[in-house]
Homo-oligomer: A and B are copies of this chain.
Amino acid sequence: MAFVFPLADITSTRQQPKNWLNSIIKGDCVAALNALPDHSVDAIFADPPYNLQLGGVLHRPDHSVVDAVDDEWDQFASFEMYDAFTRAWLLACRRVLKPNGTIWVIGSYHNIFRVGAIMQDLNFWLLNDIVWRKTNPMPNFKGRRFQNAHETMIWASRDAKSKGYTFNYDALKASNDDVQMRSDWLFPICSGGERLKGDDGKKVHPTQKPEALLARIIMSCTKPGDIILDPFFGSGTTGAVAKRLGRNFVGIEREQDYIDAASARIEAVEPLGGAELTVMTGKKAEPRVAFNTLVESGLIRPGQVLTDAKRKWSAIVRADGTLASGGSAGSIHRLGAKVQGFDACNGWTFWHYEEDGVLKPIDDLRTVIRNDMAKAG
């Protein structure tokens, strides 16, 4: 199957329906959208600039410099400017969307609240907010905040009356161990072989999204043959996944470098046959239960005394989920190592609690928690 990626002519697309199908339109997002016909696409995936507002350079503990997203296209002078930009492209998207079409917008806490509020103001009807939990997010290097480990996506229909939107509930459920798909998804960030790199070995696009994420989105809200629009096409993940899954795409992108990379990428994609069009399953969550979970759940009480199996050493549980013994304090692992004079220690098997006069490893309590939490994955 040969795909061609003409750069659609903005001035003529509106008059000649469908010549823009499976192509990348070069140009400003709003101008290009305005050239498309009314009610012409079934779904939209938008990954707009996040307006990160970064400060100076950020160093890792090993003194290397974080390669930040400081591109010109992510800079806005003020919230007002960002809001105006957001309103413009969302409004243009709304006209192009079919009455029963739906739109996805992805963002971080820097921009997603503004985007969501504007979507409501423009009469989009929010169906879900979906959390993309990253298995391998960048750490918080300075220890001044929680590790920013997720991004947020808003899924919305054109308006509250649009009840006929596509939602492949049963397929999603069947692909998810026969339980309905939740609003929190777990995927790795895009890296390794999937990440597009230039001749210089550097990443082509700073924020390339993983194909698995787009695959779940496209499989959830479109049917084979549907048309998916991506007004911030970038490296073309939307187009590549759409083609592979037997959907049509339209991309809009300003920068020729991105268009070139995306075109070559999509060209190389082999579409799947009908039988293979199953939903990609996300990564199965590891049931990680930390010690604080035991304290927060009440299975272990602050003030409670833990000992080793032979009651040689003891420590007191503190409300913050750390242990204290003598003048030392730390995690169950660090303190276990410390009292024994070791470099390392598995606190889960070393520390014991007493129940009915019997010492049991605190690891036993972890299984209790795991059983409770298994459902959430």
| A residues lining the B interface (CB < 8 Å) | 59, 63, 68-70, 72, 75-76, 79, 108-110, 112-117, 119-121, 123, 125-131, 133-137, 139-140, 143-150, 152, 154-155, 160-161, 167-178, 180-184, 186-188, 212, 215-216, 219-220, 245-246, 272-273, 275-280, 282, 288, 290-292, 295-298, 302-303, 316-322, 324, 329-331, 333-334, 342-345, 372-373, 375-376
Known contacts A135-B376, A149-B376, A184-B149; A171 and B130 CB within 8 A of each other: no
Number of copies: 2
29 A–B contacts from the bound complex (CB under 8 Å): A63-B345, A72-B123, A79-B121, A109-B154, A110-B126, A113-B114, A113-B116, A116-B116, A127-B146, A130-B146, A131-B131, A131-B150, A135-B375, A135-B376, A146-B183, A147-B180, A149-B182, A150-B183, A152-B152, A171-B320, A175-B321, A176-B291, A219-B321, A246-B319, A275-B303, A275-B324, A277-B302, A279-B318, A279-B320
Q: Is B212 touching A296 in the complex (CB atoms < 8 A)? A: yes
Whole-angstrom distance between the alpha carbons of A79 and B119 in the complex? 12
Whole-angstrom distance between the alpha carbons of A330 and B172 in the complex? 11
Q: Is B117 touching A212 in the complex (CB atoms < 8 A)? A: no
Q: Which residues of B contact A126 (CB under 8 A)?
A: 109-110
Whole-angstrom distance between the alpha carbons of A171 and B291 in the complex? 12
User: Across the two chains, which residue of chain B brings its CB closest to A149?
Assistant: B182
Q: Is B316 touching A276 in the complex (CB atoms < 8 A)? A: yes
Known contacts A109-B129, A113-B113; A290 and B176 CB within 8 A of each other: yes
Q: Which residues of B contact A333 (CB under 8 A)?
A: 177-178
| Contact with A302, one of B113, B147, B276 (Cβ below 8 angstroms) | B276
| Contact with A114, one of B117, B167, B295, B372 (Cβ below 8 angstroms) | B117
Known contacts A68-B160, A174-B321; A303 and B273 CB within 8 A of each other: yes
Q: How near does chain B come to A173, taking the closest CB pair, in angstroms?
A: 8
Whole-angstrom distance between the alpha carbons of A297 and B216 in the complex? 11
Q: Is A322 touching B177 in the complex (CB atoms < 8 A)? A: no
Q: Is B109 touching A113 in the complex (CB atoms < 8 A)? A: no
Known contacts A128-B148, A331-B175, A372-B135; A168 and B110 CB within 8 A of each other: no
Q: Is A302 touching B177 in the complex (CB atoms < 8 A)? A: no
Q: Is B320 touching A175 in the complex (CB atoms < 8 A)? A: yes
User: Across the two chains, which residue of chain B brings its CB closest to A69?
Assistant: B160
Q: Which residues of B contact A130 (CB under 8 A)?
A: 146
